[in-house]
Amino acid sequence: QRVKPEEVEFTDDRLKDNSYVGKGGSDEMSYGWKAHVDLIKTRGDKFRAEKNKKKRGAYRGGAITFESHSIKFDA
């Protein structure tokens, strides 16, 4: 491994969980949540095929919000 996990220091605890659910602030009616539910069980090469099927236009997810979940870092 190039990165040693014991040497990593997180500036914000939200960075420890890289999942969609870990970002917080998303309700079950949002577009991202519905895509997450459909795609979380897909692994490997099949993920690309499933993702592209969703992008074709027949997929009707939830509402798209412009809410930001950014994490500010000190420069």
Which tens digits make up the pLDDT trace of 43-71? Answer: 888 989 888 887 777 666 666 778 777 77
pLDDT at 51: 83
Is the pTM of the predicted complex or chain greater than 0.85? no
Give how far the C-alpha of residue 2 lies from the chain's centroid of Cα atoms, to the nearest Å: 24
Alpha helix (H) ranges present in the chain? 31-39, 45-55
| Residue 26 CA: distances (Å) to CA of 9, 15, 48 | 26, 16, 24
Confidence of residue 74 (pLDDT cuts 50, 70, 90): confident
